Amino acid sequence: MSGDNKQRSSLGIGIALGVAIGAALGVAFDNLALGIGLGLALGVVLGQTMAGEKTRTKGKRDDDGASGD
């Protein structure tokens, strides 16, 4: 899987988790539309954060052993 696909899957996982949690909270508080909307927004943030962590970690590993001096 290439880096772009991993970033997309992280975003998808984040959105899925956010919508699921938001829907559960929406049902609990009797406001499903608000719960799904907030869950979607938080899911996007979560997915982007997960994708950024993977990219940052990969970059660190590449930089550590790349010096040819």
pLDDT per residue over 3-61, tens digit each?
A: 666 667 888 999 999 999 999 999 999 999 999 999 999 999 999 998 887 767 766 66
Number of domains in the chain: 1
CA distances from 2 to 8, 10, 47, 66 (A): 10, 13, 17, 20
Query: Looking at the domain assignment, is residue 67 inside a domain?
Result: no
Query: Looking at the domain assignment, is residue 44 inside a domain?
Result: yes
Angle in degrees, 0-180, between the axes of helices 3-28 and 32-64, rounded to the nearest 10: 150
Instruction: Please give the residue range of the domain that contains residue 17.
Output: 9-56
Is this structure's pTM higher than 0.95? Answer: no
Query: Looking at the domain assignment, is residue 4 inside a domain?
Result: no
Query: Looking at the domain assignment, is residue 65 inside a domain?
Result: no
